[in-house]
Chains A and B, each alone.
Chain A
Amino acid sequence: MQGIKGISGKVAGFFRLSGELSHFAGRYFAEVWKPPFEIRELLHQCYNVGNRSFPLVGVTGFIIGLVLTLQTRPTLQEFGAVSWMPAMVGISIVREIGPVVIALICAGRVASGIGAELGSMRVTEQIDAMEVSGTNPFKFLVATRITATTLMVPVLVIFGDVLALYGSFLIEHLKGNVSFQLYFNQVFDSLEFSDLIPATVKTFFFGFAIGLVGCFKGYYCTRGTVGVGAAANTAVVAASMLIFILDFIAVLISDIFYEL
């Protein structure tokens, strides 16, 4: 009986959270089009999200490219298919590994940062102070951050993809003496718009999810400093979950288009 109650409580909690998150997203879409537009703060957030994530995303992307190529090479060699390496790496990086891994990295760095920052502002009454001063804190803090992550995560994913492909090329160049031109010709020959467009479009949704969850957890933070830690932590978990769910939906939808 206790177990059933526990499960039903968790299910109810999940649906409540989903509802609240949807309402929060709805408020974002309602407010983001209305003036005043906080352009300066938006640019500041783009810098925070984008520029400050470049090193981590760059290193991650580069290492993914190296590792993927190193680990796949022996298997492809066994089947005499090493020449397929650029195509295999290109498609897997651009379509799936790049967007998902970079988005997860951003969820860890950006969603937790936003959750902690807004949570701290909430518990120290800075958000209330903003409201009292006549500034809409939702527009100033939330709308700018969600917009910034939505715009910057795709840029970071493209940057990560490029470095991953470059990492892969380095291994191929060292082990197979493949030239830069040949490698990237094969990569781009294997890629089609039907690979690039869904992969890019879904990164906007990933960015939106990261900003949305980080802001939601921080904006409604309670319980003082403990709550700030919890907001940062749960923001990462929820954003990561949402990225996987969105990725699954994106793959399902693109599969439908492939079949048409």
Chain B
Amino acid sequence: MNKENTITPVFPAGEADEVIIRIKDLRKRFGDNRVLNGFNMELHQGENLVVMGKSGSGKTVMIKCLVGLMQPDSGSIEVMGKDITKLDRKALDLLRADIGFLFQGSALYDSMTVRENLEFPLRRHKERFKDRADTETLVLEALKNVGLSHTTELMPAELSGGMKRRVALARTLIMNPRIILYDEPTSGLDPITAKEIIELMRIIQARYRTSALIITHDVDCARVISDRMILLVDGINYAEGTYSELQRSADPQVKAFFK
């Protein structure tokens, strides 16, 4: 890992038992296809929670409901004490400033340079950063944290898959979020780059004291990063526990994930 990633916490650790996200009885269907059937979840301050499930098990739908990109059919989603299903657009945007979202395919804006990609989230939240530093410093600091200080003027098309994922992570970090949501952070990456990304996630969690919800079906990623895991099967939390607890489970559905 790059020397630029020295771990220095910037926030004091929160109370470990403080619930930062609480999902209750979340349901979502598309036509006849019931994707979420009463999903429940709690994410605590400073915790790394991994949600694992097969493709199409509703992981991405759940995480998109969590940031208001999709409306659930029923259930409640409380983020830092606010039910996001009941917030208006302005309040939701303010809340979103505290939530970083790393998309599966990085989702960098193709028509913008790396610098512009990182500046983009700041444009709506200038007040939040006016005392911290100017935009230039924030961009360079975020890129330094992911070891890509030299890429500011490159276009996303000029970056490798791993670099794109890092820049996307830097774009997430620039907002100084309290929570980071990772949607399949290692998908589409070679094993070595995937390990680098996982290591980077660990470093970021230690440095920024963020809480993280990680959606993945990568068992290695779950093993390294998770404090706790939820297995999502048929739209419900089928099993919960630490990595080693679930790995020892005799349940055939749980065992299938660890084969």
Contacts and interface: CB of A to CB of B under 8 A. Distances in A.
A129 B109 CA distance: 9
A124 B91 CA distance: 26
B114 to A, nearest CB: 14
Interface string B93-120: 1101101010111011111000000001
Given A120-B110, A128-B64, A128-B69, A134 B105 contact: no
B124 interface: yes
Interface in A87-139: 117, 120-121, 124-126, 128-136
From DSSP, what is the main secondary structure of chain A's interface residues?
A: helix
B3 interface: no
A135 B103 contact: no
Contacts of B96: 132-134
Contacts of B101: 129, 132
A151 B111 CA distance: 23
A120, A128, A129, A130: residue with the most chain B Cβ atoms closer than 10 Å: A129
B89 interface: yes
Contacts, number: 51
Contact of A134 (B69, B103, B111, B125): B125
A132 B120 contact: no
B109 A134 contact: no
A104 B46 CA distance: 57
A132 to B, nearest CB: 5
Interface string B141-185: 000000000000000000000000000000100010000000000
Nearest to A131: B69
Contacts of B89: 136
Contact of B97 (A120, A126, A131, A134): A134
A235 B245 CA distance: 53
Interface of B: 64, 67-69, 89, 93-94, 96-97, 99, 101, 103-105, 107-111, 120-121, 123-125, 171, 175
Interface of A: 117, 120-121, 124-126, 128-136
12 contacts: A124-B110, A125-B103, A125-B105, A128-B69, A129-B101, A131-B69, A132-B69, A133-B121, A134-B94, A134-B121, A134-B124, A135-B124
Given A121-B109, A132-B99, A133-B124, 8 more contacts: A124-B110, A130-B109, A132-B69, A132-B96, A132-B101, A133-B171, A135-B120, A135-B124
